[in-house]
Chains A and B, each alone.
Chain A
């Protein structure tokens, strides 16, 4: 607990503001779920998210009925929005795992009050990501042919295809994320069970709590498990986006076929993830009055990580250009020049602006300490990262080896509908999570409280 107090003094603002007791922490967080009535802000948000979810359903139904032709995809640009969304959503998931797992291993107490919702963000983002590749299939109703299972055709997946690696990576990632999340929730579910007054809450949370009773032996095994899961999630999170990046770098396409992709993609993933975490945390603490738990210091730390990832991403951009010309590969260099000066040049420069220039503002303390400024920056980075994925996928495809087959991609209404719809669905899931589960881990906050003060009045 000494390192905790050091961490305390080291950082300017505390991790927990005001005088809190085990009881008051518990009550404040639990009551968000059990007692508090959802305000108008919540309902409007839910309504909007619901509307976009509906749009998503419509878009998907129409897609299944007619075919992927309703999108702008063509030859040569056979991948576009769906895969862009996929990569982007997976990336967003990564920050959640990073915060909850890696920071846990690094004994960073400040993760405590943000890991819960960050993990939720991970799960919903990966869920959205998981849907996209299925939607983009020509015959989506056969998506399970990518999974190894005994079948009458006596066929197996083609193991050399990165898409098959994807299936394993994404499936593992979402399962492990859910386990990790649920493990963290167990004690809190028990708390909710014990504090619930309404019958359905008692039964519901009671069932989910699996009869957790806080026995010291259980806590012991629980701690080991939680640490192990964190230890497993850490390499996992690195591997997942590396595998995603292999979807591209395995191909021989100029602009895809590059060895820098795995680290490049992982950095980009965390980059967009922290951006999304900020975009969610800042309104969250405002709406639910969690300023004491999610303090400016949390925001500042996340902003610093954002900046760090941003720098790695910028470096990757630079290296990509360098290797294109250093390699002397005329296809590569032509691709880079096309990115900067071709049909999609505006996207490239927008990406540079959002992902390289804007984050530099975080160097300024004033910016770091202003939630509004951080919110804007994070939002811009989100956009920038989506555009980056789009740039990597589309601008590489639209001009490849044979000029005779060069083409152009223009998104249709249904491309946009799918993207907006997935955002809406994500938002809806997140709102429901906020309403029905504690957004901050109570047991860990109690322990944090214990460690940072060790007193109870």
Chain B
């Protein structure tokens, strides 16, 4: 039923106001909510009842892969592919393989973690409808935005706007969906 509309945004000046608004919106029954803030606001994810993110898991896998890969590479090179007497040390001198193993484990984890974060966030995405919202550039400065998405079953631009007004925001603005089309 979203009629070329991404959603409605209420603009707040403080975290308290935003958090209050979010709680109110959830209480009122809105489910498709989004919040845009200039910094990570404590308590906001809980208020929006966001699911636990999976970054940690991805990081762990990356680390395991890096470490295992590193040790295997060293073992394979030193024992199977190019066995040679170096300093009279045994071919599989595993203690000497530990440093590289550790370092590559860390590297794998870090790359996986950072990469995973970007992918899950759908970044990089240079073009997004919310950027067309008037005043939205303040979202990276000192304004806190609550967005009710148009696909929310309760969404009706008139009634939602009226309801949002009751939260005494700094302003209410509409986000056109055109951005999405153009992005696609």
Contact, CB under 8 Å: B89 / A194:
no
> Which of these binds chain B: A165-173, A268-276, A418-426?
A165-173
Contact with A159, one of B41, B55, B74 (Cβ below 8 angstroms):
B74
Please tell me which one of the listed residues B37, B99, B123, B131 contacts residue A165 in the complex, with CB atoms under 8 A apart. B99
The answer to whether A22 and B126 have CB atoms under 8 Å apart is no
Within 8 A of B (CB), among A134-184: 148, 154-160, 162, 164-165, 168-169, 171-172, 175-176, 179-180, 183
Indicate which residue in B37, B89, B103, B111 contacts A214 across the interface (CB closer than 8 Å).
B37
Top 3 nearest A-B pairs by Cβ distance? A22-B142, A210-B124, A194-B137
Asked if A194 meets B141 with Cβ closer than 8 Å, knowing A160-B86, A172-B107, A239-B102, the reply is yes
Tell me whether A187 and B123 are in contact in the complex, defined as CB-CB below 8 angstroms, given that A232-B110, A246-B99, A455-B14 are known contacts: no
Number of interface residues of A (CB under 8 A): 68
Contact residues of A: prevailing secondary structure: helix
Q: How far is the CA of A221 from the CA of B48 in the complex (A)?
A: 14
Q: B124 touches which one: A156, A211, A246 (CB < 8 A)?
A: A211
Q: Number of contacting residues on B, CB 8 A? A: 67
Cβ contact of A187, chosen from B39, B86, B142, cutoff 8 A: B39
Task: Assess whether B130 is in contact with A213, with CB atoms less than 8 Å apart.
Answer: yes
Interface assignment of A217: CB less than 8 Å from any CB of chain B: yes
Smallest CB gap from B96: residue in A: A160
B114:A195 contact, CB within 8 angstroms: no
Query: What residue of chain A has the Cβ atom nearest to residue B137's Cβ?
Result: A194
Known contacts being A183-B114, A211-B125, is A219 close to B56, with CB within 8 Å? no
Chain B residues near A243: list those with CB within 8 A: 99, 103
Measured in the bound complex, the distance between the Cα atoms of B123 and A275 in whole Å is 38
In the bound complex, do residue B114 and residue A229 qualify as a contact, i.e. CB atoms below 8 Å apart? Answer: yes
Cα-based distance from A443 to B128 in the complex (angstroms): 21
New A-B pairs, 18, CB < 8 Å, besides A23-B142, A165-B99, A217-B50: A1-B42, A22-B38, A26-B140, A154-B82, A156-B77, A160-B93, A187-B39, A210-B126, A213-B128, A215-B35, A217-B45, A219-B39, A220-B45, A233-B110, A239-B102, A443-B40, A447-B40, A456-B142
A225 touches B55 (CB 8 A): yes
